[in-house]
């Protein structure tokens, strides 16, 4: 196969999306979709025109086949995926009482992805890529997943891959002390780190975007981009820093997946050697576009849609001025 721009791995679950904005106990019909931070990012990046590989360990069951078929159908390379009879593919349910009140209920403990182990990694497959994308979700699934993440980091370092780390903290999956220690260690190996403001506060212990970014830079990260929600993002390297304004969203339909779209935009900008300011602006635009669509990955846009959205927004700002 052709070499890949990016490789990522982690748990993708089957999502059951309610057909009504009601407490979950009163919902009777659901739409079947998929959801997973790493596969969301992979699909988003593929739609932006890049070659992406995603892998996991899926259950040998209908849901596992559905996950694989869906991601492969988006053009993402899934040739390194594994199947197991030892555990089922995980599922989760969304509860949408309103666009501002979205709750998620996971049924993922001891799921198939939690059985990933270092021996499952294909060094040749990972080494062909330019970037390894990681999140803080995978190491929280199990001790063997934690070991697998560090084994992947070791492969990436040996073969000169850039590591992009999105902390994506899920406190329901592990204790506070272990989470902080592990996330700090993974962050120390990352070339680019993409925390939200609260995630940065948790990992670093500082308060402002400037303080958090400076602390990461001092620890060896080359680029730090801190997500600030509707306000946009703050970026910093050893040579430059600045705020990039967010895009106005008139109506939020589903906020889940916006951060994964943001990550896809950032990685796309890195691969295209765009300026950091333009890269962050693209990430902000994709995040704003994603929240207007139901589902984790359905709203991830293609490059021409992103460019059109950004140009229209710029034209509106010029008119207002």
Of the candidates 193, 198, 230, 189, the one whose C-alpha atom is nearest the C-alpha of residue 213 is 193
CA atoms of 316 and 209, how far apart (whole Å)? 28
CA atoms of 96 and 280, how far apart (whole Å)? 29
CA atoms of 205 and 208, how far apart (whole Å)? 10
Q: Could you give the 3-state DSSP secondary structure of residue 115? A: helix
Residue of 166, 254, 260, 296 with catalytic role: 260
Contact in structure between 175 and 204 (CB atoms under 8 Å): no
5 to 15, 154, 300: CA distances (angstroms): 28, 18, 18
Q: Verify whether residue 260 is a known catalytic residue.
A: yes
CA atoms of 35 and 22, how far apart (whole Å)? 21
CA atoms of 43 and 51, how far apart (whole Å)? 10
Write b or e for each residue in 55-90: b if 16 or more Cβ atoms lie within 10 A of its Cβ, otherwise e.
bbbbbebebbebbbebbeebebbbebbbebeebbbb
Catalytic residues: 260
């Amino acid at each position: 196969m052709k070499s890949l721009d990016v490789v990522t791995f982690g748990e993708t679950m089957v999502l059951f999306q309610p057909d009504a904005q009601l407490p979950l106990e009163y919902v009777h019909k659901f739409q079947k979709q998929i959801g997973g931070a790493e596969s969301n990012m992979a699909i988003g990046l593929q739609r932006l025109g890049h070659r992406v590989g995603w892998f996991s360990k899926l259950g040998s069951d209908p849901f596992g086949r559905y996950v694989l078929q869906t991601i492969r159908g988006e053009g993402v390379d899934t040739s390194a995926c594994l199947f197991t009879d030892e555990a089922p593919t995980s599922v989760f349910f969304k509860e949408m009482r309103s666009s501002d009140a979205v709750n998620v209920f996971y049924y993922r403990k001891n799921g198939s992805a939690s059985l990933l182990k270092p021996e499952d990694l294909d060094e040749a497959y990972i080494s062909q890529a330019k970037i390894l994308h990681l999140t803080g979700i995978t190491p929280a699934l199990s001790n063997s997943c934690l070991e697998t993440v560090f084994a992947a980091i070791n492969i990436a370092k040996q073969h000169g891959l850039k590591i992009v780390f999105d902390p994506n903290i899920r406190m329901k999956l592990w204790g506070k002390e272990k989470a902080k220690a592990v996330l700090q260690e993974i962050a120390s190996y990352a070339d680019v780190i993409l925390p939200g403001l609260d995630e940065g506060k948790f990992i670093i212990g500082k308060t402002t975007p400037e303080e958090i970014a400076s602390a990461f830079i001092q620890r060896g990260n080359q680029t730090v981009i801190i997500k600030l929600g509707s306000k946009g993002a703050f970026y910093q390297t050893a040579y430059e820093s600045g705020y990039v304004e967010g895009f106005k969203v008139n109506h939020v339909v589903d906020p889940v997946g916006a951060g994964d779209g943001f990550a896809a935009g950032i990685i796309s900008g890195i691969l295209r050697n765009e300026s950091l300011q333009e890269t962050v602006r693209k990430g902000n635009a994709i995040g704003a576009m994603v929240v207007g669509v139901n589902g984790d990955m359905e709203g991830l846009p293609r490059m021409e849609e992103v460019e059109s959205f950004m140009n229209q927004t710029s034209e509106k700002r010029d008119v207002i001025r």
